[in-house]
Structure 1
Amino acid sequence: MGKVKQRTGLGALASAGSDDDFSVIDAIGGPRGVIESMLPGVVFVVLFVATSNLNLTIGVSAVLAVVQVIVRLIQRQSVMGALSGLLAVGICLIWAWHTHQARDYYMFGFITNAVYAVLLGVSLLVRIPALGAIIEFFRQLPTEHFKAWLDGWMGDKELKKAYTTITWLWLGLFLLRLAVQVPLYVTNRVGLLGVTRLLMGIPFWALAIWVSYLVVATPMHRHNTRVRAGSDVSDDAADDDGAGE
C-alpha cells in the first residue's frame, strides 16, 4: 500500500481525534515547507532594507519563488503548495511594483487577514463555527445529506463548543496581526513590518494549530467513539431484522 499523503494546515486537525502522532511540523508543511514559505519574505525585507532598491528586490524575490517551483518539478515532488505560494508572492510583488511602494508588498496579507476575520466573525454570529465546518469538511465531504452532516457535529455540544473556542482563537489571531501590522504600514516602517510579518506568520500559525489540536482532540475522539457505537447498534439491529425475515 502507498503512503498516505500528510495533510497540512487545518486539514491535519481532521484526524485529531484518532491520530496519536499529530505533529505540528508536519501540519505546517514540514521543515522544507516552512523554509519555502518564509524565504521569499525574508529575502524581500532583507534585500530592500540593505539596498533600498525596490526593483532589484522585486526581481530577486520573483526569481526565488519561481526557482522553488522548478526545483520541486525537477525532484518530481508535489508542487501545489509551491504554486499557491508563488501565486501569493506574485500578487504581493506585482502590487508593490505597481504602486512603487515596498510596503504594499504586504497589502494582500492585510486583505486576506481581514476577509478571514470577517468570515469567522459572521460564522460565530450565526452559531456555526467556521473552523468546525472546515475540519468536518475534511473529515467527511457533505456530498449528500448535508443537513445530517451538519447536525452530526453541531448536535454534539462538547465538540461544537471546542470548534467555537478555536474559531475565536483564529479570529483573535487575524485581528492581532492587523492591529500590530497596519500601524507599521501606515507609518511606512517597512523593515519592522517585514520582521513582524515573519514573526506573526509561520510561528503564530504553528501555535494556533497546536492549541487547536489540544482543544479539539478529546471532544473529537469522544464524538468518533459515539458515532462508531451508534453505527454498531444500527448494524446489529439490521442483522436481527434480516434474521427474522
Structure 2
Amino acid sequence: MSKARELLEEIKSVVSGKTVDAVFPPFLFVFSNSFFGLNTAVGIALVSALILGVLRLFRKENWFYALGGFLGVVFASGFAYLTDNAANYFIPTVISSAAIVLAALTTLVIGKPLAAWVSHLTRGWPLEWFWRQDIKPAYTEVTWLWLLFFLFRLIIHVVLLVDGDALTLVWVNTILGWPGIITLLIISYIYGIARLKKLKGPGVEEFIAGKEAPWKGQTRGF
C-alpha cells in the first residue's frame, strides 16, 4: 500500500492537473470541425484554452501552465488554419515527439542519458551522482525506453497526419498523450528503482554525505 501511495505522489508531482489542458481543447477542436467547419473549430479551441488558463490563474495555480497551455493551442490551431487542414492541428505533437527522440538519442550517444538530466532538473540531485557507473546504467536503460515510446508515437502520428485522419488522431493523441506518458513514467519509476537496487550504488543522500560502502541505496525517487 505504501508503494502504491508513493507512486501516486510521484505521478501527481509530474502531472499536476495538466491532463485536462492537453485533452479537452483537441477534442473540442475535432468535434467542432466536424459540425461547424475549421474556422469555428479554431475559435472554439482557442476560447476553451483561454478559459482553462483563466481558471488556473483564478485557482492561483502556476501561471506558466496557464500560458503554456494557451500558447500550445494557439500554435496548433495556427497550423490547422494556415494550411486549411484540421489534421495539422497535431503537427506540434509530431514536432515535440521528434524533439524528444532526437534528445534521447543524442544523450545516449554522448553517454549522458536524458532520464538523468530530467531527474536532475526536477529533483535537484547532484549530476555527479547520476554519472557513477553503479547508477548511470539505470538511467541509460530508462532513456532507451523513452526513446522507443516516443519513436512509436512519432511514427503513428506521422502516418495518420499524412492520411489526414483528424478523428483518429485525436483518439491516438489522447491515448498516447498523458495516459501513455503516465504509464511510461510508472514503468520507468518501478524499473529504475529496481535497477538501482541491483546496481548497489549509494543513495543520493549517502553520496552527498560521502558515506562508504555498503550502502542502503536509493529507496525512493528516481
The superposition leaves residues 174-196 of structure 1 with CA deviations (integer Å, 9 ceiling, x where unpaired) of 10011112111111111111211
Asked whether 1:195 is paired with 2:171, we answer: yes
Question: Which letter does structure 2 place at the counterpart of 1:122?
Answer: T
Deviation at 1:26, TM superposition (A): 0.9
Asked whether 1:56 is paired with 2:43, we answer: no
Deviation at 1:75, TM superposition (A): 2.9
Question: Which letter does structure 2 place at the counterpart of 1:184?
Answer: L
**If you compute each CA radius of gyration, which structure gives the higher value, 1 or 2?**
1
Asked whether 1:152 is paired with 2:129, we answer: yes
Deviation at 1:231, TM superposition (A): 5.1
Give the percent of matched residue pairs that are identical in Structure 1 and Structure 2. Answer: 24
SS of the aligned residue for 2:18 comes to helix
* TM-score, with structure 2 as normaliser: 0.82
Q: Relative to structure 1, is the Cα distance of residues 128 and 69 closer, same or farther in structure 2, using a 3 angstrom cutoff?
A: same
Query: Of the candidates 12, 23, 26, which is equivalent to residue 26 of structure 1?
Result: 12
In 1: Cα distance, 2:130 partner to 2:153 partner: 30
Deviation at 1:199, TM superposition (A): 1.2
Q: How does 1:93-172 map to 2 (within 5 A)?
A: 93-140=77-124, 149-157=126-134, 159-172=135-148
Matching residue of 1:175: 151
Unaligned runs of 5+ in 2: 214-222
Matching residue of 2:183: 207
CA RMSD between the two structures: 2.6
Q: How does 1:221-236 map to 2 (within 5 A)?
A: 222-224=202-204, 226-227=206-207, 230=210
Question: Which letter does structure 2 place at the counterpart of 1:181?
Answer: H
Q: Relative to structure 1, is the Cα distance of residues 72 and 226 closer, same or farther in structure 2, using a 3 angstrom cutoff?
A: closer
Asked whether 1:88 is paired with 2:72, we answer: yes
Q: Assess if the C-alpha contact under 8 Å between 2:129 and 2:204 holds in 1.
A: no
The superposition leaves residues 71-96 of structure 1 with CA deviations (integer Å, 9 ceiling, x where unpaired) of 22223332221211111111001111
